[in-house]
Amino acid sequence: MNDIMKYIRNLCLLALLCAVLSCQERKPSSVGSAPEIERRVERILSQMTLAEKIGQMNQVSAGGDVSNYADALRKGQIGSILNEVDPVKINEFQRICVEESRLGIPLLVGRDVIHGFHTVFPIPLGLAATFDPALVEKGARIAAVEASAQGVRWTFSPMLDIARDPRWGRIAEGSGEDTWLDARMGEAMVRGYQGADWDATSMAACIKHFVGYGAAEGGRDYNSTFLTERQLRNVYLPPFEAAVKAGALTLMTSFNDNDGVPSTGNVFTVKDILREEWGFDGLVVTDWNSMGEMISHGFGADRKEVARLALEAGVDMDMMTYGYISHLEELVRSGAVRETAINQAVRNILRVKIMLGLFENPYVDAEAAAPLQYAPAHLEAAQRTAEESVVLLKNDGILPLSADKTRTILVTGPMADAPHDQLGTWAFDGQKEHSVTPLQALRERFPGRVVYVPGLQYTREHKERFDEVTAAARRADVILAFVGEEAILSGEAHSLADLNLKGSQSELLACLAGTGKPVVVTVMAGRPLTIERDLPNCRALLYAFHPGTMGGPALASLLYGDVNPSGKTPVTFLRTVGQAPLYYSHNMTGRPYNGETLLEDIEPEAGQTSLGNTSYYLDYGAYPLFPFGYGLSYTTFAYSDIALDRDEYPVDGTVRVSFTLENTGGRDGTEIVQVYVRDLVGSVTRPVKELKHFERVSLQAGERRRVEVEIPVADLAFYGLDGTKKVEPGDFQLWVAGDSASGEAVGFKVK
């Protein structure tokens, strides 16, 4: 960097610092102690009419003209809006509430700030691939700083839905298939959004979708789920419980019905588990019209009935059904619902507004907000996160590329220069003009050396011939192909039944490989696609879950080795879609697969009637393409001398496992160490492996380090046959490895 650049950068950083400091000046001195907050809540509540209380429970989608809502705000009929991010309009909404409504209660302004506000970070599935909660927390903090500066004080994130079926488009929005990883990522995001102290940059987190939504039948969005209580408690609920413990202020009920009960009317999950068992006194909001959709589910006959059902379940705020605002008053008057239930809901809403300091500081400084957006430090963090989120799935040694040996670089593929699509799903506020694509980053890095021939304009395009791109390939030293799926192919309501690369992308890769020139592929996608047939056509493959604003520079750094890849798969990669759902943490069948015959191995004439009696697909066997937790590096790591401090532990003890990790390659690198445990015999059958710890360990080339990890035995507790959560004494196995399919088991006992 030359001096002028450095000077400009420092000026920008200074401006950022001033802006952050001026933000902090808006900080309320204190939100007060818990009893003080409760006293404030009661004071406000005691002044409210029934209609004003019900108004607080109503959330509407804004956008458009402020005057559309002015009257309702003035009358106290709206407690929260979503989907307005213009600070000037938000200030005006607040002014009407604060100055013109009878009680002056400020508005809670919500938005789906899912993986960044303006500065877009990788999609949550990519965030999970970093296995780096501290970095993810930092990203969430940045999102909160940008969004809160414009008046958005509530985000509908993190999504904590476990997703084990990549057909489901919303797999992009969560942390993948694993309960432990999901819980750690959820806690990190809650901490990041809400901040260490309550101040004007705190943005309330909303953990969603409660609960089981990711288990949609067939991966079709919004579909029914049939999770047993034990599955819920052992697999789907722990991330929510962890996020509640981390202090999440709000929670959203999901669209699905589980075992016949829609979540928004589910007394068992919302009232019994969330409220009573976990003591959650935060705000529970419905998903968009999920109260109204209980009518479509056939769980209530009309809006009045579903409003009553939602309130009885413990839901405080209605997003876009207009069920509470239209019917609660009448339901109270007829005696069908009690006003005490309404009071409780309003307390939960007011408490959040107080915690956020909205009564003291309802307004934002619209001018101060602007320089915070896309601030250099934010872009830097987004790039670093994108770098950590990319998973190297194949490398025959061609990567990292040498700048000297790749004088002419062909950049091709429909995702090479797709500034909008690299942002991924739910990037409402990130502007594509700020995205740096791989093409831009490579051109900037190697002026005059990049030849760009897209080959396909978009991923679904079908083409017979690739003459132009293959001719260019023949003249290049290396081919960098960027394929995958556009943002619109994943996310809400965007499920897919076929997970191969769409259009003629595989044919493009085959043509490129046919030139004999080295082909390095980067897949940018919202889910793990089925790429087995493409692997032979690439010398190396990087998998980037839509990497966000700074995806281009991040990928250029990885390809050319400024950064060594460290990401690991947060979800199992399938060989073919018919294997779904396939996940590492499954229970063992009575007949585990034992390498039996596959169809392709038998002679058609052999007249065989039986091929084996174990659990597998005749055509695809039993294994995935890449297991959970998998990812390569430009160096290699070896694990040795794995030892436990004891053979037996009490149920309240701590397992201390130590091992030597050695960087056995020629480059510095970071390994994501994973510890898995299996409970061999239980009152109910237990998964073959469960992740119980992970950490990033950075080692220089050739460095060896003794690492010690502690696993509290309490973390091995589960809900067994009697329905209570406890550690069941007996034999266990433990693996320390670089992915879920490697490592040698060591045994221990719990007494």
CB 455 within 8 A of CB 508: yes
Of 182, 257, 287, 534, the catalytic one is: 287
Bridge-based pairing state of the strands 409-412 and 450-452: parallel
Distance (Å, whole) CA 474 – CA 413: 16
User: Taking CA 209 as the corner, what is the angle to CA 208 and CA 213, rounded to the nearest 5 degrees?
Assistant: 150
CB 514 within 8 A of CB 494: no
Q: Which one among 137, 177, 287, 387 touches ligand BGC, defined by CB under 6 A?
A: 287
Pick the closer one to ligand BGC by CB: 250 or 572. Answer: 250
Q: Compute the least distance from the CB of residue 568 to ligand BGC, in Å.
A: 26
Distance (Å, whole) CA 227 – CA 279: 23
Pick the closer one to ligand BGC by CB: 141 or 494. Answer: 494
Distance (Å, whole) CA 310 – CA 300: 10
429 lies in the binding site for ligand BGC (CB under 6 A): no
Examine the residue annotation and report whether 287 is marked as an active-site residue of this protein.
Answer: yes
DSSP string, 315-333: --BEES--HHHHHHHHHHH
Q: Compute the least distance from the CB of residue 214 to ligand BGC, in Å.
A: 12
Q: Which one among 38, 461, 492, 645 touches ligand BGC, defined by CB under 6 A?
A: 492
208 lies in the binding site for ligand BGC (CB under 6 A): yes
- The residues, ordered by sequence, that sit 6+ positions from 313 with a Cβ below 8 Å of its Cβ are 253, 264, 265, 266, 267, 270, 271
Distance (Å, whole) CA 435 – CA 423: 8
Strand partners, 617: 621
226 backbone dihedrals φ, ψ, rounded to 5°: -135, 60
Residue 90 belongs to what H/E stretch?
helix 87-95
Tokens 């981390």 belong to which residue?
246
Strands, E assignment, 552-679: 637-644, 648-649, 654-663, 669-679
Binding map of ligand BGC across residues 100-139, x = CB under 6 A, - = no contact: ------------x---------------------------
Alpha-carbon dihedral angle through residues 736, 741, 742, 748, given to the nearest 10 degrees:
40
Local structure of residue 122 (DSSP, 8 states): P
- The residues, ordered by sequence, that sit 6+ positions from 314 with a Cβ below 8 Å of its Cβ are 267, 270, 271, 274, 275, 284
Count of C-beta atoms within a 10 Å radius of residue 424: 34
Q: Compute the least distance from the CB of residue 549 to ligand BGC, in Å.
A: 21
Rounded to the nearest angstrom, the gap between the alpha carbon of residue 585 and the centroid of all alpha carbons in its chain is 19
User: Taking CA 251 as the corner, what is the angle to CA 246 and CA 257, rounded to the nearest 5 degrees?
Assistant: 130
CB 358 within 8 A of CB 108: yes
Pick the closer one to ligand BGC by CB: 126 or 214. Answer: 214
156 lies in the binding site for ligand BGC (CB under 6 A): yes
- The residues, ordered by sequence, that sit 6+ positions from 441 with a Cβ below 8 Å of its Cβ are 552, 553, 555, 556
**What tokens does 497 get?**
């039944």
- How many residues in the shown chain lie near ligand BGC by CB under 6 A? 7
Reduce the DSSP state of residue 691 to 3 states and report it.
strand
DSSP string, 549-583: TTHHHHHHHHHTTSS------SSPBPSSGGG-S--
Rounded to the nearest angstrom, the gap between the alpha carbon of residue 351 and the centroid of all alpha carbons in its chain is 27
Binding map of ligand BGC across residues 74-93, x = CB under 6 A, - = no contact: --------x-----------
- The residues, ordered by sequence, that sit 6+ positions from 380 with a Cβ below 8 Å of its Cβ are none
Distance (Å, whole) CA 469 – CA 473: 6
Pick the closer one to ligand BGC by CB: 93 or 288. Answer: 288
Longest dimension (CA), the chain: 86
Peptide bond into 270 cis (omega under 30): no
Pick the closer one to ligand BGC by CB: 352 or 521. Answer: 352
Rounded to the nearest angstrom, the gap between the alpha carbon of residue 249 and the centroid of all alpha carbons in its chain is 18
User: Taking CA 691 as the corner, what is the angle to CA 687 and CA 693, rounded to the nearest 5 degrees?
Assistant: 150
72 backbone dihedrals φ, ψ, rounded to 5°: -65, -40
Q: Which residue is nearest to ligand BGC (CB)?
A: 156
82 backbone dihedrals φ, ψ, rounded to 5°: -130, 160
Start-end of H helices in 645-708: none
**Which residue numbers are catalytic?**
287
Q: Where does this chain bind ligand BGC (CB under 6 A)?
A: 82, 112, 156, 208, 287-288, 492
